[in-house]
Amino acid sequence: MSEPTHPPVAKSGAKPRKWPRILLAVSLTFNLLVVGLVAGANWGGHWDHGFDAHGPNRGAIRDLGFAPLASALDRSDRRQIGRVLRDRSGSFSENRRALAEEFQSMLTVLRADPFDAGALLSIMDQQSERQRQRGGLARSVLVERIEQMSSDERLAFADRIEGSIRKRAR
């Protein structure tokens, strides 16, 4: 039996190019990133909870415990309420920054020896007061908006709240 003969391979002096492999890796990475973003948007749990994916304060009303009311508002109302909240109490990033500073103070107190329970309670009271004030402001802004609604708009709003509560109960 004879060995199979293969045609001779021509050896060229050119090195294989790296850019096609680099381009393929970048393309694959980008495609996986897009798939991850789409999957996260679809299954991330932000649908139908008043989540405003385009506003700077997305979900702000929901985060203050107004989920059924926020989801019953239309997008323009949520955006308007977010703007009013920001105008009246500062930006949400400023408030988050203040909360982060309070948590740093809390960590300092927790790590101190001896432990000062009064200092910890004082910090926790500050945090509670901040949340109480923001919640009160959000309630008053929401009531102001509802007061501006016509009777028909208010009835439709009530129906949407009822539908939201029923959906959540399931």
Can you give the pLDDT of all 170 residues of the chain as single tens digits? Answer: 556 666 665 556 666 677 777 767 767 676 666 666 666 665 655 444 444 444 544 444 444 456 778 888 888 888 888 888 888 877 767 777 888 888 899 999 999 999 999 999 998 888 888 888 888 888 888 899 999 999 999 999 999 888 877 877 76
* Pair of tokens at residue 151: 């009777």
* pLDDT confidence of residue 79: 87
Cα within 13 Å of Cα(141), Cβ side: 25
Q: Cα–Cα distance between 90 and 60 in angstroms, integer?
A: 13
**Please, is 81 exposed, middle or buried when counting C-beta atoms within 10 Å of its C-beta (0-12, 13-18, 19+)?**
buried
* pLDDT confidence of residue 12: 60
* pLDDT confidence of residue 42: 57
Q: Cα–Cα distance between 141 and 86 in angstroms, integer?
A: 11
* pLDDT confidence of residue 148: 92
* pLDDT confidence of residue 107: 92
* pLDDT confidence of residue 161: 86
Q: Cα–Cα distance between 121 and 69 in angstroms, integer?
A: 32
* pLDDT confidence of residue 89: 79
